[in-house]
Amino acid sequence: MTNTMTMSRLTLVISTLLLFFSVTLSANEANTTNALKLGSYQNIVEQQAGHPLVVVFWSITCASCLKEMATIKEIHQEQPNLPIVMISIDDISEAPLVLATLKDKGLSDLESWVFAESNTQRLRYEIDSTWYGEIPRLYFLDADHNRRGISGKISKADWLELLAG
Amino acid sequence: MLKYFQKPTPSQFIWLFILAPLLLTACQSTGKTASLNPYHGHGSTALKGIIVTDFAPDGTLWRLFPTNKNIFVEHSTDLGHSFSRSFKVNPEQQKINIWAENPPIIKVSRSGRIHVLYYADENQRATTYFSYSDDQGRTFSTPILVSDEATTAMHYMDQMLVDSTGKVYFFWHDTRHGRHDPKLGSGVVSLYYTTFDSLNGRLENQKITGGICSCCRTATALAPNDKPVILARMVLETGIRDHALIRLLDNNQWSKPIQAITDDWRVDACPEHGPAISIDDQGRSHLVWFTLGEQRQGIFYAHTDDYGQHVSHPPLALGDSSQLPGHPDVLAIGNRVYLTWQQFDGQQTDIVVQHSIDRGHTWSHPKNVLSVSGRSAHPKLLRKNKKAYLIWSTEAKGLQLINITHD
């Protein structure tokens, strides 16, 4: 029990520190996350009008998503000008863990969002009315913003093929 | 005739205004009873809008009410119109961690013992705890960990079955053998189980199989011989995530998984969309599941009389495919089979029911019976003797219970 309490306190301390750093660093580095509400997705896409864009939906508890991040890191290193937006479908209360996970996977400089609506189904529907919620879910948008949605972890070769259009 | 269409007086108009929604609700319901309990005595709403229930053999409705820090249990003798005072299960506050695909469970045995299973964040996230009460919920046993590696391996998606003798079975997804197999993909875990049939017995954990898709809830039911049958989304060697049946044989060994459904869903993803199973008293297993496979996409029903060797074909497609039908449940009572699932039209979630009176050969038309805007749990079917009830827990309207029995 003492062990459990120590671990709980440790988790609390780590969470507090993560929250502290996420707030203090946000002024200087892109090490912060945003709250995804109804309408946010449309704004994200419009910000990149005329440019290709990749949007990745993921979760801190999704093993396939965490594996996919190694490929995302490679693509990001090779094509640093390609905007890749990471959207976590976890609750906004998990923001510290979302940030810690992105940092751990070397993706903390990517634009990051976390679901912040209690009715996540409505939020998903607004993004894609055919998406059942399976993750990872990737959207490849070309310069004209023609969109292709893919469910599940894909290989680097698949990424390159989809990016080539 | 014209006199019947006179302009209503102001007072009549007010009554019409009040009664119209009630009448509409009554017309939507297929059953005889509907109850609504949006309010409760905890000073906060149920965590994520998730309340779970079970009927005791005497017809008392028991519900488990989770909050951020506690698990409460209450009961109702008037089908949910009113509930008893709340009894707390966990004596020390914990960070309760549940979600729609991973809800807590309450089960009442034939002897009246109240069994409770819930999840709290400890060394591992969403660690499973079990507690029971032998005095109608007034006091609960100190919650114990179900997994014997609870501090080092994540374990979740539990199921709890109580057989006719009161023996309790627990089943769960366990990461203790976690390793990445490129052939299979990610998120592949083991299915574990244990039993509890004594007051202070240790819960000895045993592995049933590997190759379980981690994030889809596994379904379980008792066969007529009182032994468990499992329907799980498994990850086959080719990376395909289709459903298999496993059962406890008469020699108390688990059968090898039998792939019951061939959808050919090759994906390395978390669908978060588990199946359901109900077995009738002649041993027919009624199955419902979700897939986005090559063969079919959406939610489906089929049945098998030999635990997956032969399965009815083609599967029955359920729901309006343009409204993301999902999270189905099934309940068999004699020759009657009841189905429910949820749909979403962009604004609100609808609950649909459908039934068969001939063990799943022919089906009624689907019917929308409830709807709500906002967060909700998955719809569930509950048996109360020969009657079938739909129960749905939502953030906006609390717990809703409808008798959907087709006599």
Taking the CA of residue B121 and the nearest CA in chain A, the distance in Å comes to: 9
CB within 8 Å of B381: residues ≥ 6 apart:
B278, B329, B330, B331, B338, B340, B388, B389, B390, B391, B404
The CATH number of the domain holding residue B60 is 2.120.10.10
The answer as to whether B234 is a domain residue is no
CB contact under 8 A, B122 and A65: no
Distance CA B313, CA A127 (A): 35
CB within 8 Å of B339: residues ≥ 6 apart:
B288, B301, B318, B328, B329, B330, B353, B354, B355
A107 touches chain B (CB under 8 A): no
Do B187 and B299 reside in the same domain of the chain? Answer: no
Taking the CA of residue A28 and the nearest CA in chain B, the distance in Å comes to: 32
Distance CA B208, CA B170 (A): 12
B-chain CB neighbours of A129 within 8 Å are: 324, 346
Taking the CA of residue B124 and the nearest CA in chain A, the distance in Å comes to: 10
Which whole number is the average pLDDT over B262-290?
97
The pLDDT score that the predictor gives to residue B17 is: 42
Do B210 and B282 reside in the same domain of the chain? Answer: no
Do B321 and B397 reside in the same domain of the chain? Answer: yes
Which whole number is the average pLDDT over B91-113?
96
The pLDDT score that the predictor gives to residue A21 is: 42
CB contact under 8 A, A134 and B267: yes
- Confidence band of B200 (pLDDT split at 50, 70, 90): low
Sign of the alpha-carbon torsion through B270, B156, B343, B17:
negative
Question: How many Cβ pairs within 8 Å bridge chains A and B?
Answer: 84
The pLDDT score that the predictor gives to residue A18 is: 45
CB contact under 8 A, A66 and B186: yes
B-chain CB neighbours of A58 within 8 Å are: none
The answer as to whether B251 is a domain residue is no
The pLDDT score that the predictor gives to residue B187 is: 85
A-chain CB neighbours of B188 within 8 Å are: 63
A63 touches chain B (CB under 8 A): yes
Q: Which residue has the higher pLDDT, B355 or B198?
A: B355
CB contact under 8 A, A152 and B267: yes
The pLDDT score that the predictor gives to residue B179 is: 59
Residue-wise pLDDT for B301-354, tens only, equals 999 999 999 999 999 999 999 999 999 999 999 999 999 999 999 999 999 999
Do B174 and B311 reside in the same domain of the chain? Answer: no
Do B202 and B88 reside in the same domain of the chain? Answer: yes
**How many domains does chain B divide into?**
2
B324 touches chain A (CB under 8 A): yes
A-chain CB neighbours of B185 within 8 Å are: 64, 153
Which whole number is the average pLDDT over B286-306?
98
pTM of the model: 0.87
Facing residue for A153 by CB, picked from B185, B188, B374: B185
A-chain CB neighbours of B186 within 8 Å are: 63-64, 66-67, 153
Spacing of C-alpha B221 from chain mean position: 11
Containing A159, the helix (H) or strand (E) segment is helix A156-164
CB contact under 8 A, A153 and B186: yes
Strand order of the β-sheet with B285-292 is B276-279, B285-292, B297-304, B316-318
- Confidence band of B238 (pLDDT split at 50, 70, 90): confident
Suggest the residue from A8, A119, A124 to mutate for an interface test with chain B (most B CBs closer than 10 A). Answer: A119
Question: Which chain B residue has the Cα nearest residue A119?
Answer: B375
Residue type, B78: D
Which whole number is the average pLDDT over A41-63?
96
CB contact under 8 A, B270 and A135: yes
The answer as to whether B10 is a domain residue is no
- Confidence band of B407 (pLDDT split at 50, 70, 90): confident
**For residue A3, pLDDT beyond 70:** no
CB contact under 8 A, B269 and A4: no
The answer as to whether B242 is a domain residue is no
Do B64 and B182 reside in the same domain of the chain? Answer: yes
Spacing of C-alpha B262 from chain mean position: 23
**For residue B42, pLDDT beyond 70:** no
By the 8 A CB rule, do B236 and B256 touch? no
The answer as to whether B312 is a domain residue is yes
CB contact under 8 A, A7 and B123: yes
Distance CA B379, CA B256 (A): 31
Do B185 and B282 reside in the same domain of the chain? Answer: no
Q: Where are the beta strands (DSSP E) in chain A?
A: 34-36, 53-58, 84-88, 111-115, 137-141, 147-151
User: Lowest-pLDDT range, A32-41, B34-43, B175-184, B245-254?
Assistant: B34-43
Do B93 and B177 reside in the same domain of the chain? Answer: yes
The answer as to whether B21 is a domain residue is no
Taking the CA of residue B275 and the nearest CA in chain A, the distance in Å comes to: 15
The pLDDT score that the predictor gives to residue B248 is: 97
Which whole number is the average pLDDT over B143-163?
93
CB within 8 Å of B323: residues ≥ 6 apart:
B343, B344, B345, B350
User: Lowest-pLDDT range, B38-42, B92-96, B242-246?
Assistant: B38-42
**For residue B237, pLDDT beyond 90:** no
**For residue A27, pLDDT beyond 50:** no
Which whole number is the average pLDDT over B107-121?
97
The pLDDT score that the predictor gives to residue A13 is: 46
The answer as to whether B140 is a domain residue is yes
Q: What backbone torsions phi and psi does residue B406 show, to the nearest 5 degrees?
A: -110, 105
Which domains, and CATH codes, for chain A?
A: 30-164 (3.40.30.10)
Do B186 and B95 reside in the same domain of the chain? Answer: yes
**For residue B27, pLDDT beyond 50:** no
Q: Which residue has the higher pLDDT, A139 or A93?
A: A139
Facing residue for A118 by CB, picked from B267, B290, B375: B375
Give the domain range for residue B380: 271-406
**For residue A141, pLDDT beyond 90:** yes
The CATH number of the domain holding residue B381 is 2.115.10.20
Task: Supply the mean pLDDT for chain B.
Answer: 88
| Interhelix angle A63-78/A156-164, nearest 10 degrees | 60
Question: Which chain A residue has the Cα nearest residue B216?
Answer: A134
**For residue B20, pLDDT beyond 80:** no
Do B140 and B286 reside in the same domain of the chain? Answer: no
A120 touches chain B (CB under 8 A): yes
Question: Which chain B residue has the Cα nearest residue A133?
Answer: B271
Task: Supply the mean pLDDT for chain A.
Answer: 86
Residue-wise pLDDT for B165-198, tens only, equals 999 999 999 998 865 566 677 889 999 999 997 6
Euclidean distance between the first and final Cα of chain B, in Å? 38
Angle at Cα A149 formed by Cα A143 and Cα A150, nearest 5°? 125
The pLDDT score that the predictor gives to residue B181 is: 61
Share of chain B above pLDDT 70, in %: 86
Residue after which a domain boundary falls, among B191, B215, B239: B215
Do B208 and B281 reside in the same domain of the chain? Answer: no
**For residue A10, pLDDT beyond 80:** no
**For residue A6, pLDDT beyond 50:** no
The answer as to whether B169 is a domain residue is yes
Residue after which a domain boundary falls, among B168, B193, B215: B215
B-chain CB neighbours of A135 within 8 Å are: 269-270, 272
By the 8 A CB rule, do B140 and B149 touch? no
Facing residue for B271 by CB, picked from A7, A65, A134: A134
Suggest the residue from A9, A11, A64 to mutate for an interface test with chain B (most B CBs closer than 10 A). Answer: A64
A76 touches chain B (CB under 8 A): no
